[in-house]
Amino acid sequence: MTFQKEITLKSKPRGFHLISNEILSQLPELKSISVGIAHIFIKHTSASLTINENADPSVRTDMETYFNSAVSESNARFYEHTLEGTDDMTSHIKASIIGSSVTMPVSNGKFNLGTWQGIYLCEHRNHGGSRKIVVTVIGE
Burial 47-73 (b: 16+ CB within 10 A, else e): bbbebebbeeeebbeebbeebbeebeb
What does the alpha-carbon distance between residue 35 and residue 80 come to, in Å, rounded to a whole number?
47
Check which CATH number belongs to the domain holding 9 and give it: 2.60.120.460
Q: What was the pLDDT predicted at 77?
A: 86
In total, how many domains does the chain have?
A: 1
Radius of gyration over every alpha carbon of the chain, rounded to an integer in angstroms: 16
Q: What was the pLDDT predicted at 53?
A: 97
Range of the domain at 62: 2-139
Q: What was the pLDDT predicted at 30?
A: 97
- Which pLDDT tens digits describe the chain residue by residue (140 residues)? 999 999 999 999 999 999 999 999 999 999 999 999 999 999 999 999 999 999 999 999 999 999 999 999 998 889 999 999 999 999 999 999 999 999 999 999 999 999 999 999 999 999 999 999 999 999 99
Q: What was the pLDDT predicted at 76?
A: 82
